[in-house]
Chain A
Amino acid sequence: MNIQLFQQQITRLTDPLFRFALWRLGRREEAEDAVQDTFLRIWEMRDSLSKYDRLDYLAFRILRNLCIDRARKRKLDIKDWPKNLDLATDLQSPHRKIELREELMAVEKAARALPEQQKTILFLRNIEGYSTKEVAEMLEMKVNTVEVKLSRARKGLRKILKR
């Protein structure tokens, strides 16, 4: 892969990869480090990239492993996660707005408590909008397995929230 093509991939993939790293690690600077390391690793593999059909799959796989390593090295703290996510709705009631922010934090917290694979699947499906088939290909799993894990993740989230 030449540098121009690589730059195009950087432009295309930086935001989704950053979102994933931030979602997993909570701190912007750490997320940036992980994304930068991911691109460095891909660049080091540039001579053998032709064997990968989808660069985004490869990038997410590398980044997921980097995030797991980083998360192992330090205890993740819910306080690290972005607190001011834009509310994607403009509710009329200010009271409900405050309540919803709290609920949103509870969802964030609950999502961190999910098992490793469920967290990744939930992100790729719910946030990045990959189809179940695409997630299965990316994570080298059966479609049915992804469906089961996704269902468990969503139900698990619901269960934690209802407590």
Chain B
Amino acid sequence: MEKHIINLIEKYYAGQTSPEEESQLIQFFSKEEDLGNLEEYRAEFIQSDSWQTVEASEDFKARLLQQFSEPQKPKGSHLIINRNWLSIAAGVLLLITGFLLGRTSPNSSTSPNDELLALQTEVQSLRTMMIVSLFEQPRASDRIKAVRMAESLENPVEEAIGVLINAINEDPNTNVRLASIKALSAFRGVPEVQKALLSAISNQDSPIVQIELLRSIKKYNGQEKEPILLELLDQNDLDEQVKEYIQQILKSI
């Protein structure tokens, strides 16, 4: 038996084993007992076998099937429809802008300031709608577009702040989370934003995102960050660089 396995191992390293022969090898190396001289090969074959059992989560599978579920509107076309809708929304935005600008002409009977204010509110509200819609897109690049749009809002609109905070805590993509942190820095004067950035740190598994959050927090003068940072330092699995950065901030308080 052992001679047969040694022959198969040789064939394996020459890249000439068939999938069936490889199954034999995997089966052999999955045995509970000590394999003597052949023990050194075990990890390589166990690795293949271990990966074969890895599966996507049920939640992800359900989301995928749902995404491509409607007979006439699978996500691909849903995405196209949404993109079309966004183009239409952008068009409407331009039309309203033009229309309202026309009404604010010197011949208009209403006050130009009122008209301008109405125009700004309309534009703001349409932009917020577009941001929310883009955040629902499956592609990370679309969600980053939403972040960019939210970033360019002149006033701290509650809804935009809400979606950015949500993106920091919930978005699966690191780049979207990083972009959202940067965007939220524009609203640093809002106490809820500071609070949200602070509480988001412990939700993150990526040290890069944690450091970006800490960078943002460093800029705020509030003392309330101290207990949260101290609590974070107690976490056993905290990345060393993150730990170091927290200590720097604590020294500067």
Contacts and interface: CB of A to CB of B under 8 A. Distances in A.
Interface in B13-58: 13-16, 18-19, 22-23, 26, 29-34, 42-44, 46-57
Nearest to B23: A129
Interface residues of B, number: 52
A117 interface: no
Interface residues on A, range: 35 or more
A132 B12 CA distance: 12
Contacts of B84: none
A149 to B, nearest CB: 8
A15 interface: yes
Given A6-B74, A127-B52, A89 B32 contact: yes
Given A100-B43, A147-B15, A43 B74 contact: yes
A110 to B, nearest CB: 9
A90 interface: yes
Contacts of B23: 129
A147 B64 CA distance: 35
A88 B50 contact: yes
A91 B39 CA distance: 12
B61 to A, nearest CB: 6
B174 interface: yes
B68 interface: yes
A127 B48 CA distance: 5
Contacts of A146: 15
A36 B12 contact: no
B162 interface: no
A114 interface: no
A92 interface: yes
Interface in A135-158: 146-152, 154-155, 157-158
B243 interface: no
A3 B74 contact: yes
A107 B44 contact: yes
A103 B50 CA distance: 13
B139 interface: yes
Contacts of B75: 40, 43
A29 B60 CA distance: 10
B191 interface: no
B71 interface: yes
Nearest to B64: A10
A92 B30 CA distance: 12
Given A91-B32, A150-B15, A22 B65 contact: no
Most A C-beta atoms less than 10 A away, residue of B18, B61, B77: B61
A35 B56 contact: yes
Contacts of A155: 13
20 contacts: A3-B69, A3-B70, A7-B68, A11-B61, A15-B56, A32-B172, A37-B139, A43-B77, A85-B53, A85-B54, A88-B52, A93-B34, A104-B43, A104-B47, A104-B50, A126-B22, A126-B47, A127-B52, A129-B23, A150-B15
Given A32-B60, A100-B46, A130-B19, 9 more contacts: A15-B56, A19-B54, A43-B75, A88-B26, A100-B43, A104-B43, A107-B44, A149-B15, A161-B43
**What 8 A-B pairs have minimum CB-CB distances, sorted nearest first?**
A29-B172, A151-B15, A43-B76, A103-B43, A88-B49, A150-B15, A18-B56, A85-B50
